[in-house]
Amino acid sequence: MIDTLDARIVRLYTEEPRTSALEASRQLGVARATLTSRLEKLQASGAIRSWSPSLAPANFGFPVLAFCFLTIEQNRGHDIVVQALVEIPEVMDVHTVSGESDMLVKVAARSNADLQRVLDSIAATEVVVRSSTVLALNTHFEARALPLFETAARA
């Protein structure tokens, strides 16, 4: 279970990810050992997945963002599709979904023409039967888990 101290720790590191453990313990008013113990617990539980930088593809040459709904060959399964898609660098996220499609794929591209190349690469996997793509015109926020984490801490 997480508590309000965990939420305060995660908020601090979300807002100031390069804060040292010593500085974080000072700002939060807790012992450094308490802070590091809590961080280790959160990592071990999987609540904190990564300390990786948050990358912005639009800022390094990939301004086109699209979401592709894929229908796959049912007898081949999802794993083979995932194995094929992980080889395409522009594929950022892959989710198995319910509804009319089987999978939802988030893709970045350099341009609309480049998006077509990426979509052709997805189709070339030979396990995708049909795809439907929508372009993101604007991203208002993404990867927004902090409010959910704070809600869980209050429960």
Nearest to 70 by CA among 92, 90, 100: 100
H helices of 46-77, in order, are none
- Which overall architecture, per CATH, does domain 4-53 show? Orthogonal Bundle (1.10)
pLDDT at 143: 87
Q: Is the pLDDT of residue 2 over 90?
A: yes
Residue 99 exposure: Cα atoms within 13 Å on the Cβ side: 8
pTM score, whole prediction: 0.87
- 37: which DSSP letter? H
pLDDT at 43: 96
The tokens for 122 are 């997805």
Q: Could you tell me which CATH number the domain at 57-135 has? A: 3.30.70.920
pLDDT digits (tens, 9 = 90+) for 93-113: 999 999 999 999 999 999 999
The tokens for 79 are 């794993």
Q: Is the pLDDT of residue 129 over 90?
A: yes
pLDDT at 77: 86
